[in-house]
């Protein structure tokens, strides 16, 4: 148990959802106390609104504080986070439709494609360094259309042969970490950690 006096506690107000604000207060902390050895993010807000009633400014406020701020406080893992967010949105929307709107017949589906042969990764595929399953845009489009015409909801993995990967979510943390490390190392080795920027493709 640590005991702190008032003189050992400092308060620096800022909006952690604002990149410039975070950088400014971080520079001030470093100048006055040196580099902090530990960082704890404990900020979070919520709305309690349904998707239908949620105002855009409130949505952006929650996203900025609860999600976007992580990228201002740590390293860049934006792509993976957006994919996880899509899955969480799919699950949450399904619950909201069923329990709040009493609309169990409204179906939602989410599609998890493997790496798709578009300009985003084509340079990796052509280099021969990407040792991973890839698919074509038509594979994803076909899966989406077929699911629409089925009339059922689903969580789809494209190609279906990789469906077993969804089981990784239920495995022990050490095994998930092993899988993540293996895949990340493969991608970094293939692209040396950076993709060439192309007009109209990269942000």
Which active-site residues does the annotation give?
79, 83
- Cα dihedral sign, 92-98-101-103: positive
What would the DSSP string read from start to end of 18-65?
-HHHHHHHHHHHHHHH---S-------------TTT--HHHHHHHHII
The token pair at 58 is: 């409130």
Q: Classify strands 154-158 and 134-135 as parallel, antiparallel or unpaired.
A: unpaired
If phi over 0 gives left and psi between -120 and 50 gives alpha, with beta otherwise, what is residue 200? left
**Would you state the structure tokens that stand for residue 82, as one six-digit string?**
């957006």
| Beta strands 134-135 and 115-116, pairing class | parallel
């Amino acid at each position: 148990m640590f005991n702190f006096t008032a003189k050992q506690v400092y308060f620096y107000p800022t909006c952690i959802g604002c990149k410039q604000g975070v950088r400014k207060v971080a520079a001030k902390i470093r100048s006055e106390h040196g580099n902090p050895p530990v960082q704890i993010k404990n900020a979070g807000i919520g709305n309690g609104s349904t998707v239908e009633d949620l105002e855009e400014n409130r949505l952006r406020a929650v996203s900025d504080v609860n999600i976007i701020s992580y990228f201002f406080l740590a390293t860049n893992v934006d792509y993976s986070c957006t994919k996880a967010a899509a899955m969480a949105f799919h699950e949450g929307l399904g619950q909201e439709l069923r329990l709040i709107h009493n609309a169990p017949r409204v179906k939602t589906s989410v599609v998890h494609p493997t790496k798709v042969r578009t300009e985003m990764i084509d340079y990796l595929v052509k280099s021969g360094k990407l040792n991973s399953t890839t698919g074509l845009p038509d594979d994803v489009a076909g899966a989406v259309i077929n699911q629409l015409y089925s009339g059922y909801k689903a969580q789809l993995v494209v190609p279906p042969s990789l469906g077993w990967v969804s089981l990784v979510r239920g495995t022990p943390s050490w095994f998930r970490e092993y899988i993540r490390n293996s895949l990340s190392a493969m991608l970094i080795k293939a692209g040396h950690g950076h993709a060439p920027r192309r007009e109209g493709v990269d942000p």
